[in-house]
A and B are shown apart, each in its own frame.
Chain A
Amino acid sequence: QAVVTQESSLTVSPGGTVTLTCGSSTGAVTSSHYPYWFQQKPGQAPRTLIFDTTKKHSWTPARFSGSLLGGKAALTLSGAQPEDEADYYCLLSYTGAWLFGGGTKLTVL
């Protein structure tokens, strides 16, 4: 079974920019993995931010963007706000089945 890897924790200053990445043990992450990104705050259900690598929901703040970067999926936060402090998870598709990454704890400090 593949393993999906994320940074365990990252810190960004208010107003700063940070990139979270999502890699696959099977090789490069491509658009065929249909990368998703979710935000989860304590005690809440996950919220979908990005789907199909780059696409946003109507509720996704404009400061979040998705891309492929160096063989990984990436979530970039430009202009971090205190309310962006949360856990972030990526999800990749493997021919029908899906796998989450271990999550990144993002601190805005």
Chain B
Amino acid sequence: EVQLVQSGAEVKKPGATVKISCKVSGDTFSGYYMHWVQQAPGKGLEWMGLIDPEDGETIYAENFQGRVTITADTSTNTAYMEVSSLRSEDTAVYYCSTGAETSHGLSLLGYWGQGTLVTVSS
């Protein structure tokens, strides 16, 4: 069974940097893109970006370009998402999601992590 286990909740001050991890077990890590999704309190889902762990190539959403960095370590089957220059609006739950093979083909966002709450407060 594939599992995505994310790191624990974080509390950060404005201007700081946070780095969240997402460890994949039970399947091939480098075979599927890893997506990151933000959900502010009481709000909807927002796609942040993705990484191809095989070559490190990334694509970022316009809203997150420049302050977000997504990386992957294939030796530990772990993806990371870093947000710099944190502000209160970055307070949110962050999810990772990766591909799942099904009888109908590949679902690019089939498996999800449990989410990591990041609170930005002075």
Contact = CB atoms under 8 A, between A and B. Distances in A.
Contacts of A46: 37, 45, 95, 97, 112
The prevalent SS among residues of A at the interface is: strand
B58 to A, nearest CB: 10
A63 interface: no
Interface residues of A, number: 26
B16 interface: no
A91 B110 CA distance: 13
Contacts of A57: 100, 102, 107, 110
B44 A100 contact: yes
A58 B112 contact: no
Contacts of A91: 45, 47, 109
Given A52-B105, A97-B60, A100-B44, 9 more contacts: A45-B115, A46-B45, A46-B95, A48-B100, A51-B109, A51-B110, A55-B104, A55-B107, A96-B59
